[in-house]
Amino acid sequence: MIITKTPFRISFVGGGSDLPAYYTQRKGAVLSTTIDKYMYISTHKFFEKDKIRCKYSQTETVDHVDELQHPILRTVLKDFDLNGIEVSSIADIPGGTGMGSSSSFTVGLLHNLTAYSNLDISKEGLGSGACRVELDLLKEPIGKQDQYAAAFGGLNLIEFLPNGSVNVEPVLISDQTRKELNSNLKLYYIGNQRSASGILAEQKKNTAQKEKLDTLGKMVDLVYDLKDALTQGNLDDFGAILNKNWLLKQSLATGITNQRINDLYATALDAGALGGKLLGAGGGGFMLFYVPTHKQPAVDKAMQTLDAKSFDFNMESLGSQIIHIES
């Protein structure tokens, strides 16, 4: 049996510049961190040696990999000559909530099946391999940030170059800055799980407009502003940079925000948050805010009145890991 755990991520600034529609024209960049919420995948021998069983939100038992309905499982398993196995997944956070769950699943599955096949793979290989599955083979209208974040783990500036290559640069901050940042970040679950594909497809189309391209360029500039603030230990600017990024992002496509999200955002700022954003492509899921600790009780109380639930987490730095091997 092989068990892997692969982290989810929260993206701070630059999201959308990891789409090919942008980075093939101009260098894209995001700044994100992985958190201690994970996708767990296990693979072990199945008692029927000529079948494959996959257990996720559904259970499939098939004679051949081509019969699998789950697109990522079907596509990844085609690359491995494996029969008589059972693959199971469980996650700390539901899908469609803006934390890169599908890419964490893909990275974790690649990591798991590679180890089950007694092969090695690098973090770069996990990131690029997951992008191959989701973007090249499945033609999902998504970007590249989630796959590399899940593979590498940690607080990173991730750059997307016009030639298709990806550069992952750890953002080195002091222990004190990390502790303060972690303490001041607040997540709230607002419900309304959704697929990112529709919003991202519209955003891809809109990127052909120079105005939208320039907006994304301003968001990329904020990535480097945020990196400077973090490395200099100047967290006073963190909330303001999140706010600038969110205001820019809303103009990229319809469906990114709605009246409830706008109300929640205004409520949090009125109660003491210094800035924030909706995680993921838009529409629902989790909202992130930068809130000084002494303001957090007031923000929590205000958000509860709008049925937004506080969600505890910590930053993590290890990326996808093999946590159990049993022959």
pLDDT for position 202: 57
Q: Is the dihedral of CA 144, 147, 152, 156 positive or negative?
A: positive
Contact 239, 290 (CB under 8 A): yes
Burial (CB count <10 Å: 0-12, 13-18, 19+), residue 281: buried
- 155 bridge partner residues: 33
Q: What domains can you pick out in the chain, each with its CATH number?
A: 2-172+316-325 (3.30.230.10), 175-314 (3.30.70.890)
- Report the range of poorest mean pLDDT among 82-91, 147-156, 249-258, 269-278: 249-258
Q: Report percent pLDDT > 90 for the chain.
A: 84
CA Rg value for the chain = 20
Q: Which two tokens stand for residue 274?
A: 């210094």
pLDDT tens column, 250-268? 887 666 788 899 999 999 9
pTM (predicted TM-score)? 0.93
Percent of the chain with pLDDT over 70: 93
Residue 171 has pLDDT above 80, yes or no: yes
Residue 175: both structure tokens together: 């222990």
Q: Residue 203 — very low, low, confident or very high, per pLDDT cuts 50/70/90?
A: low
Residues constituting the chain: 327
